[in-house]
């Protein structure tokens, strides 16, 4: 979760600091096995290497930031946002998906697209 958050924050030229937070003894043992320091404060550059980071999000349910998936007649509408750290670009994308086309694409590609 911290890495995904750090990607979004890096695209917005922000900063974040965090620590690993093991959920249980198994996580602690795995962290030790990997040589991770549970007391280390991780910076945004520890979490996200490089300066060409992309972040994308699509609303599933309605929220303050993005609309959720909407079924309107024979169309499915989605609202998304895409950001790139290198250019500072933020795009908002409203998409219209055609269930019939998704079904045809699914048959060709073998990828199942849900249209429920």
Domain with CATH 3.30.540.10 in the chain: 52-116
- Tell me what pLDDT residue 85 has: 97
Q: How far is CA 27 from the centre of its chain?
A: 23
Dist. CA 97–CA 58, nearest whole Å: 13
From first to last of its 116 residues, the chain has per-residue pLDDT tens of 899 999 999 999 999 999 999 999 999 999 999 999 999 999 999 999 999 999 999 999 999 999 999 999 889 999 999 999 999 999 999 999 988 777 777 777 777 766 65
Q: What are the φ and ψ backbone dihedral angles of 27, each rounded to 5 degrees? A: -65, -40
| pLDDT for 109 | 75
> How far, in Å, CA of 114 to CA of 102, rounded?
8
**How does DSSP classify residue 41?**
P
Distance CA 29, CA 91 (A): 42
Q: Give the pLDDT confidence score for residue 106 in this predicted structure.
A: 74
The CATH number of 52-116 is 3.30.540.10
Token code pair at residue 44: 């945004």
Which 3 state secondary structure label does DSSP give 97?
A: strand
In the prediction, which pLDDT does 98 show? 87
């Amino acid at each position: 979760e911290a890495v995904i958050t750090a990607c979004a924050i890096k695209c917005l030229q922000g900063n974040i600091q965090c620590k690993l937070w093991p959920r249980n003894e198994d996580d602690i043992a795995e962290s030790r096995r990997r040589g991770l320091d549970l007391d280390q404060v991780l910076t945004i550059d520890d979490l996200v290497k490089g300066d060409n980071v992309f972040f994308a999000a699509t609303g599933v349910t309605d929220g303050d930031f993005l609309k959720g998936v909407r079924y309107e007649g024979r169309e499915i509408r989605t609202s998304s946002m895409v950001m790139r750290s290198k250019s500072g670009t933020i795009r908002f994308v409203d998409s219209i998906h055609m269930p019939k086309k998704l079904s045809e694409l699914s048959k060709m590609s073998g990828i199942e697209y849900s249209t429920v």
